[in-house]
Amino acid sequence: MESPAPAKPTTPDLRFIAQGASAMLYDRGDGHVLKIFRNSVSDEMIAREVAVSVHANTVGLPTAPALGRHDGEEGRAIVYPYLEGPTLMAWLRRHPVRAGWALEQMADLHRRISEAPAGQLRSLKQVLETDISYGPAPMAIKQSAIAYLRTLPDAPILTHGDFHLGNIMMTDAGLKVIDWSKAAAGHPAADAVRSEMLMRFGEGPDDAITNLWRDWAARHLARCYLTSSTFSASDMSMWRPVVALAWLRARQAGRAKSFHRYLNKAMAQVNISPILI
CB of 83 closer than 8 Å to CB of 176: yes
Predicted local distance difference test score (pLDDT) of residue 205? 82
Predicted local distance difference test score (pLDDT) of residue 244? 96
Q: What is the pTM of this model?
A: 0.91
Residue spans of the chain under pLDDT 50:
1-5, 7
Give the 3-state secondary structure of residue 131: helix
Parts of the chain belonging to CATH 3.30.200.20: 15-81
In the chain, which ranges are continuous DSSP H helix? Answer: 43-58, 88-94, 99-113, 124-133, 139-149, 188-201, 208-228, 233-247, 256-268
Give the 3-state secondary structure of residue 27: strand
Return the number of other C-beta atoms located less than 10 Å from residue 250's C-beta: 10
Nearest to 89 by CA among 179, 14, 15: 179
DSSP summary character for residue 13:
T
Predicted local distance difference test score (pLDDT) of residue 250? 85
Predicted local distance difference test score (pLDDT) of residue 252? 66
What CA–CA distances, in Å, run from 200 to 90, 230, 271?
A: 17, 23, 24
Parts of the chain belonging to CATH 3.90.1200.10: 88-268
Predicted local distance difference test score (pLDDT) of residue 4? 44
Predicted local distance difference test score (pLDDT) of residue 12? 53
Structure-derived torsion over alpha carbons of residues 133, 1, 190, 182, reported in degrees to the nearest 10: -110
Predicted local distance difference test score (pLDDT) of residue 9? 53
Which residues are CB-neighbours of 44 under 8 A, at least 6 positions away? none
CA 60: distance to chain centroid? 19
Predicted local distance difference test score (pLDDT) of residue 11? 56
Predicted local distance difference test score (pLDDT) of residue 253? 61
CATH of domain 88-268: 3.90.1200.10
At 46, the amino acid letter reads: I
CATH of domain 15-81: 3.30.200.20
Euclidean distance between CA atoms 141 and 76, whole angstroms: 38
- In which region does residue 52 sit, left (phi positive, over 0), alpha (psi from -120 to 50) or beta (all else)? alpha
Predicted local distance difference test score (pLDDT) of residue 255? 82
